[in-house]
Each structure stands twice: as structure tokens, then as C-alpha cells.
Amino acid sequence: MKLRLLLSAAILPLTFAVAAQAADVAPSAAIEPAGDGLFGRVVSADGSPLPGAEIIVRGSGRRAVSNTQGEFSLPGLTGDVVLDVRYIGLPHASQSVVLTPGRAAQVTVTLGGDDVTTVADVVVTGVITDGVARSLNQQKNADGTINVLSSDAIGRYPDPNVAESLQRVPGIAIQRDQGEGRYINVRGAPSAFTAVSVDGVTVPAVDPGTRAVDLDTLPSDIVSNIEVSKTLLPSQDADSIAGAVNIKTRSPFDTRRLAFSGYAGGSYNDYGGDDVRAGATVSNVFGPNQTFGALLSLSYSETNRRPENIENAWVEEDGVFVLEETLFKQYETQRTRQALTGALEWRPTDQTRLYVRGSYADFEDDEYRNTLILGYADGALQPGATNTTATYTGARIYRGLRHRTQNNEITTLVLGGEHSFDNGMVWDADLSWANSEQTYPHRDELIYRSSATTLSYDTRNHYAPSYFYAPGNPIFGDTASGFFATPGNFSFRENTFRSNTTQQEDVAFRTNLEIPSQFAGREVAWKFGLKYASREVDADEERQRDRAASANPGTLASLWGDAQGSNFGYRLGTQYDKGLVDAYLAAAKGSSPRRMPDSLTADYTAQEDILAGYGQARFDVGATNITVGLRVEQTNFDGSAPTVIDGALSTAAVSRDDTEFFPNLTVRHAFNDNLIGRVALTRSISRPEFSQIVPRRVEETDGLDISYEIGNPDLQPTLSNNFDAGLEYYFASLGVVSANVFYKDLSDYRYILNYTEDLANGGEADFETPINAPEGHLMGLELNWQQKFGFLPGWMSGFGVFANFTVTDAEIKTAQNYGGRDTFALPGQSDTNYNAALFYEMGGFSARLSYTKRSDYLEEINADTADLDLYVEGREQLDFTASYDFGNGVEVFGEAKNLTDSAGIKYYGSRERTYEYEKFGYNAFVGVRFKY
């Protein structure tokens, strides 16, 4: 608590103290008119742009950094100047420029070419090292703490989507669905603490239950680079406590010529069938002086999986933990990703540019699931039960087939422009539209239930941890007895149908004005900006269920096919014929009664309007770059949901206004050309999920487990005061060693509380609701080492290493005790997370062996007992890629993913109480890349 007060009290005084230091330099901020200045590009010997290059005007020390197209500007320069250009991994260079008054000068600096004076003599080449160089130069010369992934680096990993690419970044771990990365956790924080944008356009989440963006919807091959800001500047949106991810798509001015590239390949998965991936990009610049550019990029992938899955529901009865049910899930899934990006850009002069950029991504998950449920809780628990063994009489077995199709769509469109004035001012503005939509055209299921039987289990040979290749084999009595395999023991139970659509639409306008000024010979860049964003959310769901005899499709045997089910060695008997069941479900849907009030109470609407403004000043004191500023954001929220009380339909609504201030102090100091230090004091916010803040009560029953989600209109946003500090040492031979510490002081942290209550009509149900914890913290240490071993002799100089390690400590303190506890681990936070990769690159050959691992983390808190808190077991994965470039624009490559065959495991309190055990298998992919 004391530390929070100290941080809160420190940020504002330090912010304005630094501002006062700037103001004390001179009494006015008058802009001095100057010449038209200098505009330029930094490129490699083959003409490729070099982002992140540092350009310094010799003598004055004035500094600029090239953007992703290698471009830079130095307005206001006069006379003859000498530019010193520095870029890790290529020779430093200097170039003289003669400036003519009244006319903007243009210059292209080629590093590694013959038209400059060489200052250093270190050159690294190769696809891997070139991508690393681009990333490190942008990271080194940024004002704040960032990490950058270039498209070249992304292409060296077997990562089909953006989430899996980001797991290679220091401090980032991912959450998976059926083996594929979906959400990211930055520095141990929950996934909703990280905002995601595409080309600067904020992406609304597709899942109605979270603000976290499903990054498995976005394929990695549409990316030019990904920038992860771990400390924010005042010019950035404040809703990123953990960090902000900006996914930049390609520009036609990256190459400035007719360019065509693509790839195609196929793979095999030992828990599924064949996969295919392909993509292509074409771009060109044309018109007078090649001022107009256009780009189109396409991507397609299809994966087929048959993961094996077992789930167990545990409860406590008279001091003993027993199973309520065991679910054997036999999946057959097909996932497709399609993406389209495009850009039109016009650059009539070096001072003016206009652009339209758009992206569209579509993700479809078409899934069949044969399910065998051992319903112990339908019967009576017999005396003598232990924590590992139990017998139930009168229990039942359920056999079902579910067909579920999920479709996610993310669309972004931005129209913008930028103009640099002769006096050095820079003005930019953009109008953006983003739309995210998640639809379930159908979640249809047919279920048969057995007559009463006796079921026993023995879990003493429980599932092994994920670092073993196979689980243990708990004994589930009926999988050995064959009772479930006799069709005559089963009768029709029900059909169920669910369909829903959630749409989030975001419209935003943003403008910024940067004003250079002179304070007694010191340059200060003032920057001011406004942003208005309006987001509308509309969620609609329909549910149906029919248990009438008239809905009975016939005997269970009449719906069986030829396939025999098997899950981790358990015999699951004959499986449903999915064609027969689909035909039945299609015919039965029209007459299946609508479930009320669930078809109403699951719906909700919301609108969130955010008006933000900021001001910041950036200036240099010797080798120290200082940014100081303040951002203000006002949030207006309105939401509503239908409610049904005693059969009467009404609407519950919530309306709130909130204004928050976000002071900021960011300092970068260059101790020398190689050693960079950074310190940042910032403040940030995470607003509540829309579905959690609207007043609604939604049933989410799965199997025998009856559960409800309860909204909380009083839920407050989480605020964080942040301290970050780090040292980075960059090797001239291409590499970096860095250490960063961070502390986040949290107030009103949101968490999900789970509890059990009796129902009015008998039985009991599980409830979950979001509430705020008054205080909490998240702190940690992030270590990173990347290096090409170019100093080794001969062929050994091709080796290099990537390694990063993050250790975090976090906890929240709740306002009330739960099971005698008021202090908990932060949900979603792993104590350790690390990545290690060994790569080799020589000539046209490159290869990389990479390993990633995160430790266990808490997912849900149980209000009744710590022994039923839900944890996700830490998971490791080993991947390998290799490629050979023939030097004529053609490259062949191969990938092997999840060589450890690691499982996904969740457990309640102790690993002996396994909740879920799922395996996805390894994947081997081969393909060809080409470029022109």
C-alpha cells in the first residue's frame, strides 16, 4: 500500500519537475524559421530499407531514426552538413550533404555501398541475421522499451499465427487452444492487459467475454513487423497495463519497385491429417516520379486435427475429493485461416503522404466431438470413498455428438495522411474503422443416456505431467466393462442447439501535431494530440432444447458408423456417424423448443466512447533523451441486457462516466554507442470486459455441470502505476545483452470468483462473477541475450543464440476472505517463462532449434477451498526449422513443431486432481518460398 502511494505521488511531481527543467532553459517557445531541411532514406547495398538506423548531424548532435521504410527527416537544417549513420550489423557510414536555401534536400545513404565513407568494418549477412539486425536497431533507438519482430525473423519459425510468433519475444507467454496459441500474457499479466492494433488501428476482441484479442485469427505471414511497447508514451492509448502490440502490414514503399513474393507447402500431424498453407504478396510503385504505390497480400491455411482430451469435474464431499463426472472427448476439427491486406499510398512530395490501408482476417473452426460422459453424480456415492477412489450406484453414462462451427472475422480500415511543414512542424491525422465479429452458426448436439449402472474409478495412477510423453492410466471402470458399448443400454436424452453472433465495431479519429522549438540553443519537440473512439457491442444468442419422445431419432445403433473410438488407450466403442447425426439435427432444429429465458438473458448491448488528449515534450540533455507528458482519457459507458424475473421480461441498464489522468516520464540515456539505459514512470488502465459489466445472468451448462455467469455493473477499471528500468548492451557484431526490471502497482484488479450455491428447485449450481481486488502488484526481471558468433573461425562463425528469461512475482489482496484466504497469486501469471534458440546460418543454409517453456499459473479462484483453485500446468515446446536459399529467389524450407509432444494440462489445486489432459501431437511441414 505504501509503495502504491509513493509511486502515485512520484509520477506527477517528477513529470512536472522535468517539464520545469525544460521551461527554465528559456522563457519562450518561439519557433525559429529555417530552411526546408533534409529528407532521406537509409538502405542496404541491395536497396532494401533499413529501419531503426540512427542518423546524427555531426557537430550539432541532432538525431533522427529511420522508420520502417528506412526514411528520416531533419527539418530546419541549413548550410553544409555531415551525416553519421549507425546501424548494428552493417558498417557505419558518413555522408556530406549540401543544403540549398529554399529547397528541400533529398539524400539516400547506402550502408555497405561505395557512395559513402566507411567508418566501421563489421558486416553480417543472411536471412536470420538480417531480420535480427532490423529488430535490434529499432529497439536500440526507440525512446521507450520495445521489442520488434521483423517478417524475416517471423518466417524463420514454424508459427502459423501472430500469437505463436509473439511467444519468441522476451517476457511473452501464450495461452493455447487445442495446441495453437490464442492469447498472449506479457510479463505475467492477464491477456486483457495488452491492447492490439493493426497499422495503428485498435482491434476489438472477437470473443464477447474478454477484451483480449484472439491472435490465432491473424496469420503471421501478413506481417511486415510487430512492435511490442512495454512502456507507453503519452501519445499512445493508455489501455495497456502490460504492453501494446502494433502489427504493421507491408507497404509498397518497402521495395519501391514491382515485387512479388509467396510461399506454399503442406504438412502432416500425427494427431490429425494433412495441412496446407500458402500466401502471396504483390506490390509496385508507379506514376510520375513513382509517387503512387499499391500492395495486395493474400494468405490461406487449413489444418486438420484430432486431439485427444479427457476432462474431470471434482467436488469435495465430507472432506474427500471425488469426481462428479469424467468426459472423454474425441475431436475431429478443421481450421481455416484466410487473410487479405491491401494498401494504396500517395507521396507527391517528401513532405506529404496520404494512404489507405485495410486488412481482413477470417478464422473458421469446424469441429465434431464424440463425447462419452461417465456421470457419477447422477448416482449415490458409496461409503469408503477416498481422494483417489470411489464407487457410485445409480450412475449414468452419456454418449453425444456435437457439431460446432466458430467463425471469427477481424476487419480494419484506415485513411490517413501526414505533412511536414517548412518550419519543421509535422501534422498527421487518420480516420479508422475496425470490426470484429464472432459467430457460431451452430453448436448442435445429440445426446443419449444410459440406464442406471454402477461406476467406479481409481485415479492413483494419475495423468503424468506434461514433460512425460504419455499420461498415466487412471482406471475408469466402465471403459473396461463394455456396458457403454451396448446400444440397448441407452435411450434418447435430448437435442440442443445454440447459435450466436457478437459484433464489435470501433470508429476512431486521431490527430497529432509536432512542433519543433528552440530553447537557448536546445531543441525541444512539443507534441499534442486528440483521439475520439466510439465502440458499439451487440451480442445475440439463441438456445433450443428438446427432450420429447417425438424428437427421438431411433435407437443408438441406428446412428452409429464404422469408426471405433480411442482416447489415450481407453476404448470408447463405436462412434456416431456424423453424416447421419447432422441430417437428424438439421431436420429437428425447426421443431426444437426455444429455451427461455436463456435465449434472452445471454444477449446484451454496450457502447463505450473514449475522448483522449495529450501533450508531451521531448528534448535531449547531452546523451540523455527525455520525454515528459500527460494524457487524459474520459470514458462514457452505457450497457443493457434483458432480464426475466418471475416470468416478466424487463431490461437492466448501466451507465457510467470516468475520467483518468496518465502522467508519463520516459528517459533514455546512451552511455556510449553500445550501452543504452532506460527508465520510465507511467500510469495505465485496463477497462472491464463488456460482458462482465452489463447486468446479466447467463447459464453456461456443459455436461452435467450447471453453471451461471453473473454480471457486475459496479466493476471498476484496473489502474496501474508502473516503474520500468533497464540496461541494454549492443554488440557491433550483431547482438544484445539486456536486463529490465519492472513493477506494476495495481488497484481494483479484476478477477473471477467461483462459488457454489443451492438452487431453488433443488440441486446446486456453480456461479462465477467478476469482482475487484483493492490492491495487488506485479513485478519481475527480464533477461535477454542474442548474439551471432561471428568472432569464431571458419564455419563455426555461422552459429548464434537467442535466449531470454523472465521471472515474475505477483499477488492480489481481496476485500474479503475466501476459505480463510485474502491473498492470491495473480491469475494468468507464470513465475518463470523462457525461450532458447540455437541457430546456424552459412551461405544459403539456415537452421534454428528453438525451445519455449512457461511455469504453472492460476486460472480461476475458488471461493470455498484452495484445493479447488484451477491451475494450468506449465508447458514446454521444442521446434525446429531449416531452409536453403538457392540464390535465385527460390528457397525450400522445412519445419517440425512440438517435437516434445507436450500435452496441455489443467488441475484443481494439486496435479493429482487433473481437470483436463489434452494432446495435440507434432507437426512436420515442408514448402517453398519465392520472391522477385
Tens of pLDDT along 902-912?
888 999 998 88
- The SS3 of residue 559 is helix
DSSP single-letter state for residue 43: E
Give pLDDT, residue 177: 81
Mean pLDDT across the stretch 15-40?
45
**DSSP string covering 470-519, please?**
S----EEHHHHH-GGG-GGGEEEEEEEEEEEEEEEEEEEEEEEEEEEEEE
What does DSSP say about strands 93-98 and 117-118: parallel, antiparallel, or unpaired? antiparallel
Distance of CA 496 to the CA centre of its chain: 33
Grid cell of 93 as nine digits = 557510414
CA atoms within 13 A on the CB side of 874: 15
Tell whether the model's pLDDT for residue 285 goes beyond 50. yes
Question: Residue 208 and residue 197: Cα distance in Å, rounded?
Answer: 18
Q: Do 271 and 307 form a contact (C-beta atoms < 8 A)?
A: yes
Q: Are the C-beta atoms of 31 and 97 separated by less than 8 Å?
A: no
Task: Tell me the mean pLDDT in the region 827-852.
Answer: 90
H-assigned helices in 653-781: 690-693
Alpha carbon separation from 410 to 90, 201, 341 (Å, rounded) = 38, 11, 11
Residue 444 has pLDDT above 70, yes or no: yes
Distance between CA atoms of residues 733 and 786, nearest Å:
11
H helical segments located in 561-612: 578-588, 598-601
Q: What is the DSSP letter of 699?
A: E
| Three-state secondary structure call for residue 104 | coil
Q: Provide the 3-class DSSP secondary structure of residue 564.
A: strand
Higher pLDDT, 80 or 302: 302
- CA–CA dist 519, 511 (Å, integer): 26
Which helix (H) or strand (E) is 14 found in, with range?
A: helix 2-25
Task: Give Dmax (Cα) for the chain.
Answer: 96
pLDDT of residue 3: 40
Residue carrying the nine cell digits 434483458: 642
pLDDT, average across residues 800-827: 89
Q: 803 or 91: whose pLDDT is higher?
A: 803
Secondary structure of residue 732 in the 3-state scheme? coil
Q: What is the pLDDT of residues 477-491, one digit of tens each?
A: 655 456 878 888 999
Please compute the mean of the pLDDT values over residues 788-792 and round it to a whole number: 88
What pLDDT does residue 803 have? 93
4-8, 267-271, 638-642: the lowest-pLDDT one: 4-8
Q: Which residues contact 2 (CB under 8 A, 6 or more apart)?
A: none
Residue 465: the pLDDT is 39
Residue 476: C-alpha distances to residues 110, 206, 357, 913 (Å): 69, 38, 56, 14
Using CB atoms within 10 A of its CB, is residue 615 exposed (0-12), middle (13-18) or buried (19+)? middle
For residue 825, give the nearest of 874, 876, 773, 875 by alpha carbon: 773
Model pLDDT, residue 468: 28
Calpha distance 691→537 (Å, rounded) = 9
**Residue whose entry in the numeric block shows the C-alpha cell 504453472:** 856
Better pLDDT: 734 or 144: 144
pLDDT value at position 480?
47
Distance, CA of 686 to CA of 675 (rounded, Å): 33
Q: Which residue has the cell 504505390?
A: 293
Q: CA–CA separation, 435 vs 211, rounded Å?
A: 14
Main-chain phi, psi angles of 69, to 5 degrees: -95, 10
Cell of 68: 520502417
Q: Considering only 489-493, 508-512, 698-702, 874-878, which range has the smallest mean pLDDT?
A: 698-702
At residue 760, the pLDDT reads 67
SS3 23: helix
Instruction: Let me know how long the chain is.
Output: 932
pLDDT for the residue numbered 708: 80
Helices (H) and strands (E) in the chain, counts: 8, 50
Helix residue ranges, H only, 646-746: 690-693
Q: Could you count the other beta carbons within 10 Å of the beta carbon of residue 747?
A: 18
Q: Which residues pair with 14 in a beta bridge?
A: none
Do the Cβ atoms of 766 and 756 come closer than 8 Å? Answer: yes
Q: Flag the least confident range among 123-127, 241-245, 924-928.
A: 123-127
Query: 775 pLDDT band (50/70/90 cuts)?
Result: very high
Which of the four pLDDT bands, split at 50, 70 and 90, describes residue 545?
Answer: very high
How many Å apart are CA 338 and CA 912, to the nearest integer?
A: 41
21: cell is 527543467
Q: Are residues 705 and 766 in contact, defined by beta-carbon separation less than 8 angstroms?
A: yes
Q: What is the mean pLDDT of residues 790-799?
A: 90
Three-class DSSP category at 279: strand
What does pLDDT average to over the chain?
86
Concatenating the DSSP letter of every residue in 855-898 gives --EEEEEESS-GGG-EEE---EEEEEEEEEE-SSSEEEEEEEE-
Tell the burial category of 809 from Cβ atoms under 10 Å away from its Cβ (0-12, 13-18, 19+): middle
Reported as type and span, the H/E element at residue 447 is: strand 426-450
What would the 3-class secondary structure string for 286-330 be? ECHHHCEEEEEEEEEEEEEECCEEEEEEEEEECCEEEEEEEEEEE
State which of 6-10, 314-318, 444-448, 828-832 shows the largest mean pLDDT: 444-448
The CA distance from 731 to 675, in Å, is 9
Helix (H, G, I), strand (E, B) or coil at 123: coil
What are 402's three cell numbers? 456435437
**What is the pLDDT at residue 7?**
39
Half-sphere exposure of 436 (CA within 13 A, CB side): 24
Helix (H) or strand (E) holding 917: strand 914-919
pLDDT of 1 over the 70 cut? no
Does residue 754 register a pLDDT over 80? Answer: no
Q: What is the mean pLDDT of residues 218-226?
A: 86
- Residue 121 CA from chain centroid, whole number: 39
Q: Which residue has the cell 487412471?
A: 474
Mean pLDDT within 568-580 = 88
| Per-residue confidence (pLDDT) for residue 36, from 0 to 100 | 60
**Lowest-confidence segment of 20-24, 455-459, 805-809, 812-816 by average pLDDT:** 20-24
Residue 861 has pLDDT above 90, yes or no: no
> Taking residues 41-64, what's their average pLDDT?
86
pLDDT bracket for residue 702 (50, 70, 90) = low
Of 636-650, 689-703, 887-901, the least confident? 689-703
- Are 692 and 751 contacting, i.e. CB atoms less than 8 angstroms apart? no
Mean pLDDT over 366-371 rounds to: 94
How far are the Cα atoms of 714, 798, 865, 878 from residue 44, in angstroms, in the given order? Answer: 56, 21, 61, 34
Instruction: Give the Cα separation of 279 and 304 in Å (integer).
Output: 18
Asked if 698 contacts 708 with a C-beta cutoff of 8 angstroms, the reply is yes
Beta strands in 199-319 (DSSP E): 201-202, 223-229, 243-249, 259-269, 274-286, 292-305, 308-317
* Residue 41, strand partner residues: 71, 108
Quick check: 218 and 200 in contact, CB under 8 A? no
Dihedral angle of Cα 11, 15, 16, 21, to the nearest 10 degrees: 140
Binning pLDDT at 50, 70 and 90, where does residue 463 land? low
Q: Which long-range contacts (CB under 8 A, 24 or more apart) does 588-594 make?
A: 588/495, 588/546, 588/551, 588/553, 589/444, 589/497, 589/544, 591/546, 591/550, 591/551, 592/495, 592/496, 592/497, 592/544, 592/545, 592/546, 592/551, 593/544, 593/545, 593/546, 594/542, 594/543, 594/544
C-alpha distances (whole Å) from 431 to each of 200, 340, 797 are 11, 20, 49
Q: Residue 766's pLDDT band (boundaries 50, 70, 90)? A: confident
pLDDT mean over 246-269: 90
Question: For residue 33, what pLDDT is reported?
Answer: 35
Return the C-alpha cell found at 834.
Answer: 523462457
